[in-house]
Amino acid sequence: MDAKTCLQKLRYVGVLAFATVDGQGAPQIRNISAIHYEPEAMYFFTAKGKDFCRQLLADGRVQILGYTKYKEMIRLSARARPAWEGDQQKWIDTIFEEQPYLSNAYPGDTRRLAGIVFAITDGEIEYFDLGVHPIFRERYTIGSGSITEKGYQITDACIGCGTCAVHCPQQCIEAGTPYQIQQAHCLHCGNCHAVCPVQAVRQRG
Ligand code: SF4
Ligand code: SF4
């Protein structure tokens, strides 16, 4: 798996959930399908008058979520910026060509007056496959995005009692000094953290 493949999978999903925060810090989420994909970038259309557009212009942070029929969760965390002014027309036309139904909402030239295209060129992608055993997760970046550490880690305080491994639902803790979590198969459930008698398991991030 890699970032490009994740973006392709999001394209096949089609309708994605886009989450932003409003001026009061409250979460706001909506479905978006007016999207054009490049190998490592995403362009999407919205109307300038929508709250969504105001939130993107004011803050820019966006989280995009897709779920495939194979139980794969793909989450893109990024900052969206208006595409370059000189390219707005091109991206609007591209998105409307790829998604003809949009002309029902914005026929003729109304799309150009109402619309704006945002670009996502940098970000972090989290891939989480619940359809395999053990589960599989991995993180990738596009552009200058960076990876945020999440989940749990076993520190040198580990005394090797093995209690965490017994309670791990994915059997993804390997014996050693210290014991070690196989991050690619970890659910982030926290069982190991809860049962460790010497608090050797720390939360990452
Ligand atoms: S429960 Fe704690 S001390 Fe025991 S093996 Fe796991 S991390 Fe180490
Ligand atoms: S967080 Fe859950 S799945 Fe991950 S290592 Fe700990 S017990 Fe296992």
CATH number of residue 158's parent domain: 3.30.70.20
In the chain, the number of structural domains is: 2
Q: Whose CA is nearest to atom 2 of ligand 1?
A: 196
* Same-domain status, 27 and 97: yes
pLDDT computed for residue 205 by the predictor: 83
* Same-domain status, 39 and 108: yes
Sheet bearing 16-21, strands edge to edge:
27-32, 16-21, 61-67, 72-79, 123-129, 136-142
Answer yes or no: pTM beyond 0.75: yes
Q: Read off the CATH number of the domain in which 37 is found.
A: 2.30.110.10
Site to substitute for ligand 1 among 153, 159, 180, most atoms within 8 A of C-beta: 159
pLDDT computed for residue 68 by the predictor: 97
* Same-domain status, 65 and 102: yes
Question: Which alpha helices (DSSP H) does 14-167 contain, by range?
Answer: 51-58, 88-98, 102-105, 110-114, 163-167
In degrees rounded to 5, what are phi and psi of residue 157? -70, -10
* Same-domain status, 38 and 88: yes
Q: Are the C-beta atoms of residues 178 and 129 closer than 8 Å to each other?
A: no
Query: Mind listing the pLDDT tens digit of every residue in the chain (205 residues)?
Result: 999 999 999 999 999 999 999 999 999 999 999 999 999 999 999 999 999 999 999 999 999 999 999 999 999 999 999 999 999 999 999 999 999 999 999 999 999 999 999 999 999 999 999 999 999 999 999 999 999 999 999 999 999 999 999 999 999 999 999 999 999 999 999 999 999 999 999 999 8
Site to substitute for ligand 2 among 150, 168, 183, 195, most atoms within 8 A of C-beta: 168
